[in-house]
Amino acid sequence: MLKDLLDAKKCFKLVCGAGNEDAMEVERLVTIYSKAGCNFFDVCAKPEIVDAAKRGLANAGIAEDRYLCVSVGIDGDPHITKAVIDQEKCVKCGKCKLVCPHDAIIELDKYKVKKARCIGCGLCLKNCPKGAIYTESQLMDYDQMLPKLVDKGLDCIEFHAISDDEFDVDKKWEQIQEHFGGMLCISLDRSGLGDKKLLSRVERMLKGREPYSTIIQADGVAMSGNNDEYGTTLQAVATAQLFQNSKLPLYIMMSGGTNTKSTELAKLCGVRPHCLAVGSYARKIVKDYLIMDDILTNEVKMAEAVAIAKTLIDISLENMKDD
């Protein structure tokens, strides 16, 4: 069970991207990472993407100890935003395409964002010299979508509770609990709320829930893990430390800027998470393999990709072991 993995601190979560609607990529990612030993998979809250992840698990051929989670967002959550290019302002300089870490910008007669691939990281916005890019939130109707997702047989639902609107947070949290009785995860970082408000929000959300039926995804800087440095992962460790010190009855999962240094740095700081979640960095290190047409049938290339993913997982889990 997922709970057993968390208790044993043997849980590694691959974040395929809450906004990643590219079914082919998700299937390939899940295949590679499941073969490499990853046991927890976080995908976009769309039934067809859950199906893609399930195909990935079937491809890998390992049925035991593999768990699926979907991430649902709220207004204000960057993970569910999509970039849009204002053609009136665009001067076709190509800078956005160069910086996009997810190859979501294509150049035809004009620059366009492929919505299914946009993960809302915001890098293109920061680098556009003409301010020609804006974002749109992709909000979903919880009561309509959650039953369809739950029917797929999920192991966890992750709620991105990044919003100033406490009323909206509470309402959506209630809706999630009405539709799903299993393990829930709350994803939050320190940037918007500050430590005090963050802890009191989580404390309030835990009311009425069984102890250790909830994971806190202690986020550092969301979607920032494009390199493998200690500095990138620092905030994730600090957020995890905050929750560890709070002694709230939660499983702690570090995320947001995580990489091969995350659990090592956590250990040095006396932080002992139950799970490590890696997104941007995990996707980046196998990026070349994800675009190979024959990756699912090419045993040599698949073995190479699996070996790369396995190094990340093994280093991470080794540092999570209790002394």
Nearest residue (CB) to ligand SF4, 220 versus 273: 220
Q: How far apart are CA 16 and CA 42, in angstroms?
A: 6
Nearest residue (CB) to ligand SF4, 177 versus 227: 227
Pairing of strands 183-189, 156-160: parallel
The least distance separating ligand SF4 from the CB of residue 138, rounded to whole angstroms, comes to: 12
Phi, psi of 44, deg, nearest 5:
-60, 145
Q: Are 172 and 187 in contact (CB under 8 A)?
A: no
Which DSSP state fits 253? E
The least distance separating ligand SF4 from the CB of residue 156, rounded to whole angstroms, comes to: 24
Nearest residue (CB) to ligand SF4, 130 versus 267: 130
Nearest residue (CB) to ligand SF4, 125 versus 150: 125
Q: How far apart are CA 316 and CA 10, in angstroms?
A: 9
The least distance separating ligand SF4 from the CB of residue 95, rounded to whole angstroms, comes to: 4
Nearest residue (CB) to ligand SF4, 87 versus 245: 87
The least distance separating ligand SF4 from the CB of residue 13, rounded to whole angstroms, comes to: 20
Q: How many Cα atoms are found within 13 Å in the side-chain-facing hemisphere of 62?
A: 16
Burial 68-83 (b: 16+ CB within 10 A, else e): bbbbbbbebbbbbbbb
The least distance separating ligand SF4 from the CB of residue 308, rounded to whole angstroms, comes to: 22
Using CB under 6 A, list all residues that contact ligand SF4.
83, 85, 90-96, 100, 102, 104-105, 111, 113, 118-124, 128, 130, 132-133
Q: How far apart are CA 323 and CA 319, in angstroms?
A: 9
